[in-house]
């Protein structure tokens, strides 16, 4: 019998598992996909919002501001890149300038520090590449950027090292309440648990209904993005927003913590919670919107595109708390933007709510909030690299030339707790394959390492999901079984 089962291995679920591992509880996390961070947590803007746009008094406002304040320490403990680069909200005319004043008032009501309104010239003095048409900008010094999938993977790793059972490829198919506990029927057998935390993203309403709670409705909102080469990364230092609409925060232009430039997303509501295809019309709209803010953007610098899904609740706010109709069911639903920014605070709140409900929960005496830092050869000195190679020659064997990722780093990403099991798992943990060639040269070598380290056949290694096989025949030309 588990004490707590978390359904959903995104950033909310994994950070919550980590937060709960501070206590002596039997905790399990179920992720239906082949890896954690396989849905919204891998496909978003990677922005740590300041919190000025959320309506005062909402869960979005409360948890965004608290999560922003927590992010630096959480990332430092988890060895994840985070940068407080600041953000700018642009106005292109007098009407939009009035929106800046509204956002400033909201931000102050929400307790956001470091807000100021700049003239167009003042904004261009800080960001020379923004449009000459900008008449004013709201600057938020507390805005930041982070790697969302690195944060999720590292949180899962830390939770596992602190005793949480992380189970991937396990899908909840139905849920029953029996004798004061839940029985979760999955494709891998039953899981009995006293409490469920529903952190299922766009499927949070489906999980709620399985458990008997029909109060939640989630719709998917598609957002398409374009990632640009690192040579475009210096165009802006701040995250550049346009004034928001009822559909979201509009097209942004932002540097990433790894030196690329990211533009997007558009916003299209969808009835299909699996539709992550990109469209020519959508990507054209993203490009046009980004060029409106930064006219010197060159579409030829794009190296890849992707689509993410946002989980939008009926009241357009986060749903955080215990179900009113099902005992021991705790929701973290409707976690659209600023869900990533709010994630540390939501994990903290869910943990507090659960521990208060359980009562008298003992601390885990072996809890360690930190993960052991993994060597990144781009971030160490030549002398340190020399010593590392002397200890382990695999760190001198460069597999991904675009991102300078060594064999040693890839092996480490596979061997550690909740390690990589597929091509994209290695990619998101090490950046092997994230450069300009997008894995065109390094993927066969990553495949070799995965086969060697996991003992899985070549024909069983997938890109990111069961069925997305890299090879359909073995290396000797025989047919795959």
Q: What are the catalytic residues?
A: 49
Q: DSSP for 218-275?
A: EEEEEEEEEEE-GGGGGG-SSEEEE--BTTBS--EEEE-TTS-EEEE---EEES-TT-
Euclidean distance between CA atoms 466 and 458, whole angstroms:
14
- Contact 41/220 with Cβ under 8 angstroms? no
Least Cα distance to 99 among 203, 249, 212, 238 occurs for: 249
Euclidean distance between CA atoms 155 and 161, whole angstroms:
10
Specify the 3-state DSSP secondary structure of 478.
coil
Cross-strand partners of 86: none
Euclidean distance between CA atoms 248 and 235, whole angstroms:
24
Least Cα distance to 339 among 4, 15, 6, 78 occurs for: 15
The structure tokens 């382990």 sit at 392
Q: State how far Cα 89 lies from the chain centre.
A: 22
Euclidean distance between CA atoms 413 and 421, whole angstroms:
9
- Contact 2/193 with Cβ under 8 angstroms? yes
In angstroms, what CA-CA distances link 58 with 89, 109, 357, 393? 21, 11, 23, 53
Euclidean distance between CA atoms 469 and 37, whole angstroms:
19
Q: For residue 297, report the phi and psi dihedrals to the nearest 5 degrees.
A: -60, 135
Q: DSSP for 393-437?
A: GGGGSEEETTTTEEHHHHHHHHHSTT---SHHHHHHHH-TT-STT
Given phi > 0 = left and psi -120 to 50 = alpha, else beta, which region is 452? alpha
């Amino acid at each position: 019998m588990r004490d707590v089962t978390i359904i959903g291995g995104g950033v909310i679920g994994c950070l919550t598992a980590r937060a709960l591992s501070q206590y002596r509880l039997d905790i399990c996390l179920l992720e239906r996909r082949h890896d954690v961070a396989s849905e919204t947590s891998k496909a978003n803007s990677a922005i740590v919002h300041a919190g000025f746009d959320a309506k005062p008094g909402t869960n979005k406002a409360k948890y965004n501001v608290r999560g922003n304040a927590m992010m630096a320490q959480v990332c430092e403990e988890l060895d994840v890149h985070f940068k407080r680069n600041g953000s700018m909200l642009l106005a292109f005319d007098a009407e939009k300038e009035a929106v800046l004043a509204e956002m400033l008032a909201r931000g102050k009501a929400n307790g956001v520090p470091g807000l100021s309104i700049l003239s167009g010239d003042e904004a261009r003095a800080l960001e020379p590449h923004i449009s000459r048409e900008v008449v004013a900008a709201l600057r938020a010094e507390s805005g930041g950027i982070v790697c969302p999938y690195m944060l999720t993977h590292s949180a899962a790793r830390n939770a596992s090292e602190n005793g949480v059972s992380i189970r991937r490829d396990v899908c909840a198919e139905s849920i029953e309440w029996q004798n004061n506990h839940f029985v979760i029927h999955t494709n891998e057998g039953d899981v009995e648990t006293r409490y469920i935390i529903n952190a299922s993203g766009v499927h949070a309403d489906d999980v709620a209904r399985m458990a008997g709670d029909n109060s939640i409705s989630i719709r998917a909102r598609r957002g398409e993005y374009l990632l640009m080469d690192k040579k475009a990364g210096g165009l802006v230092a701040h995250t550049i927003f346009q004034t928001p609409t009822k559909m979201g925060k509009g097209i942004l232009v932002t540097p990433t913590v790894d030196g690329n430039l990211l533009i997007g997303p558009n916003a299209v509501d969808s009835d299909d919670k699996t539709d992550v295809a990109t469209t020519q019309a959508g990507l054209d709209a993203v490009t046009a919107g980004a060029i409106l803010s930064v006219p010197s953007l060159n579409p030829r610098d794009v190296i890849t595109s992707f689509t993410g899904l946002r989980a939008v609740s009926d009241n357009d706010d986060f749903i955080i708390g215990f179900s009113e109709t099902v005992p021991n069911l705790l929701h973290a639903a409707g976690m659209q933007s600023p869900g990533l920014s709010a994630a540390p605070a939501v994990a903290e709140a869910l943990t507090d709510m659960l521990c208060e409900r359980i009562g008298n929960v003992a601390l885990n005496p072996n809890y360690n909030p930190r993960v052991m830092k993994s060597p990144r050869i781009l971030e160490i000195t030549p002398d340190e690299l020399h010593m590392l190679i002397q200890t382990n020659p695999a760190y001198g064997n460069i597999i991904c030339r675009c991102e300078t990722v060594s064999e040693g780093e890839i092996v480490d990403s596979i061997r550690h707790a909740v390690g990589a099991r597929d091509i994209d798992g290695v990619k998101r943990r090490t950046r092997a394959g994230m450069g300009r060639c997008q894995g065109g040269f390094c993927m066969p070598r990553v495949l070799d390492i995965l086969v060697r380290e996991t003992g899985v056949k070549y024909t069983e290694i997938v890109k990111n999901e069961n069925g997305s096989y890299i090879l359909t025949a073995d290396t000797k030309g025989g047919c795959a079984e």
